[in-house]
Amino acid sequence: MTREALQTGSTIDGYLIGEKLHTGGMATLWRVTHPDIALPIVMKVPMILDGDDATVIVGFEMEMMLLPRLTGVHVPRCFGVGDYARQPYVVMEQIDGDSLFPLLEKSPLPIADVVSLAGKTAAALVDLHRQNVIHFDIKPSNIMLRKSGEVVFIDFGLSRHLQLPDLLEEEFHVPMGTGPYIAPEQVLQNRTDFRSDIFSLGVILYHLTTGERPFGFPQNVRGLRKRLWRDPVPPRKLNPETPPWLQEIILRCLEPDAGKRYPTAAQLLFDLQHPGEVKLTERAERLERDGLWTVTRRRLGWAGTAGSARQPETIAATSAPIVMAAVDLSEGMEQLADTLRINVQRVLATVPGVRLACVNVLKQNRVGINYSLDDEGRNIHVQRLVELKDWARPLNLERENVTFHVLEHTDPATSLIEYARSNHVDHILIGARGTGGLRRFMGSVSSQVVAEAPCTVTVVRVAQMADQDIDE
């Protein structure tokens, strides 16, 4: 893997690198130019450093898949993406405007301004949702306002496209989102509901109306879970100028039960545009938070969800049969990897509409330090991801039909079994290194997968392989 030198004056894929515009927690932005593009454009590049969470890598991979599919005025126009094999990046138009983040310092805003911003953001959500995308990270810093007036969403690293595999859901078992804005179902790791974005927008409206965050700034999952049962202080209590119809809208957006929120962003937009037609309920007149008995009853109702992070709901667009290839990329296993690929190709030819999940396990030490960089200074996770893509390239699959997952775990077999179970894999193909006495005595990854996997398993062998030393 050859890395391009990313600095002012260098050129990558025809893009001339200009000044660095911004350095964030997960990415940097560079001003770039290209002879074929007249618009002002920027290049977003992930920051991959020693010790970085793998979610940074996977999230940017998701953004590179998703952003080129989006169209319209409410998203940045995408001009190109780079690959992890050389230099990962996304080139997109530079939005001529500011984010909503500075407005938080000025809140509470005049009610007319809040309603205007709410309407523009809801209109953008309508357009985004119609493109089969749930953003999952709606917050002021990810909402830009063009000088022409339209809202633009940025940063799709946590997003889900319903016609693409959800890499984040498949690899990680923790809540994904930003603490103050994350919806209750996101806390429970349910990434299937468009109404999660409506909840996040409700948090923003509450803050702009009252000057306060409805749920504070929780720092851990325990703090996040409180929003499943604890309602916020009614906006009219903090800002008496809040009209009842606006409080009705905000509190409906913030309902813990998604079924009690607006079913679509379009219906939310309608109410914002027609305040006189908003149906008022007890929410509109509320001046105090719910009492102890109501909160306790609500908490008991959510108690059974504590361990049920994965929801049974599935999305038809992503429910194609899944074949998982557990690929061993260790040195000396090249022939086994080639044989596995041949067998995978045979299976794919017989199963219509299949999606292939290429999986490799980056084994972690049970005791001691796990280093993120190799001796040449390359990120090991990224390097393994590139090798996995190289392995699958001869299969010539469409991008939406194949995904790549580098799992980090102390026990490779357990990691593969957990992945297969949580992602409803239909068929696993895995290579077996050898059949010697030591392996029979100690067991192997493939034998444990055969014994415990919740689906069909095909074990692939190379007949002439000698016994190998095992590092599994």
Q: Is 174 exposed, middle or buried (0-12, 13-18, 19+ CB in 10 A)?
A: exposed
Average pLDDT over residues 5-10: 85
pLDDT score recorded for residue 358 = 93
pLDDT score recorded for residue 38 = 94
What CATH architecture applies to the domain 320-460?
A: 3-Layer(aba) Sandwich (3.40)
- 142-181 tens-digit pLDDT: 999 999 999 999 999 999 999 888 888 888 878 888 999 9
Q: State the Cα–Cα distance between residues 282 and 371, nearest whole angstrom.
A: 56
Which is more confidently placed, 337 or 444? Answer: 337
Mean pLDDT, rounded, of the chain: 87
| Across 15-19, 210-214, 299-303, least confident range | 299-303
pLDDT score recorded for residue 32 = 97
For residue 309, pLDDT over 60 is answered with no
Of 137, 145, 135, 178, the C-alpha closest to 73 is 145
pLDDT score recorded for residue 307 = 40
- 246-289 tens-digit pLDDT: 999 999 999 999 999 999 999 999 999 999 999 999 999 999 99
- 3-class DSSP string for the chain: CCCCCCCCCCEECCEEEEEEEEECCCEEEEEEEECCEEEEEEEEEECCCCCCCHHHHHHHHHHHHHHHHCCCCCCCCEEEECCCCCCCCEEEECCCEEECHHHHHHCCCCHHHHHHHHHHHHHHHHHHHHCCEECCCCCHHHEEEECCCCEEECCCCCCEECCCCCHHHHHCCCCCCCCCCCCHHHHCCCCCCCHHHHHHHHHHHHHHHHCCCCCCCCCCHHHHHHHHCCCCCCHHHHCCCCCHHHHHHHHHHCCCCHHHCCCCHHHHHHHHHCHHHCCCCHHHHCCCCCCHHHHHHHHHHHHCCCCCCCCCCCCHHHCCCEEEEECCCCCCCHHHHHHHHHHHHHHHHHCCCCEEEEEEEEECCCCCCCCCECCCCCEHHHHHHHHHHHHHHHHCCCHHHEEEEEEEECCHHHHHHHHHHHCCCCEEEEECCCCCHHHHHHCCHHHHHHHHCCCEEEEECCCCCCCCCCCC
pLDDT score recorded for residue 104 = 94
For residue 426, pLDDT over 80 is answered with yes
pLDDT score recorded for residue 340 = 95
| Across 42-46, 146-150, 336-340, 464-468, least confident range | 464-468
- 232-241 tens-digit pLDDT: 999 999 999 9
What six digits make up the tokens of 332? 């000396």
Q: With contact defined as beta carbons under 8 Å apart, do 186 and 196 qualify?
A: yes
- 297-308 tens-digit pLDDT: 888 887 655 444
pLDDT score recorded for residue 444 = 83
For residue 362, pLDDT over 80 is answered with yes
Average pLDDT over residues 188-208: 96
11-93 is a CATH 3.30.565.10 domain: no
Average pLDDT over residues 344-353: 87
Domain ranges across the chain: 11-93, 101-303, 320-460
Which is more confidently placed, 53 or 328? Answer: 328
Average pLDDT over residues 115-143: 96
Confidence of residue 5 (pLDDT cuts 50, 70, 90): low
For residue 2, pLDDT over 80 is answered with no
- 33-86 tens-digit pLDDT: 999 999 999 999 998 765 456 888 888 999 999 999 999 999 999 999 998 888
For residue 457, pLDDT over 80 is answered with yes
Domain 101-303 fold: Transferase(Phosphotransferase); domain 1 (1.10.510)
For residue 437, pLDDT over 80 is answered with no
Q: State the Cα–Cα distance between residues 463 and 189, nearest whole angstrom.
A: 43
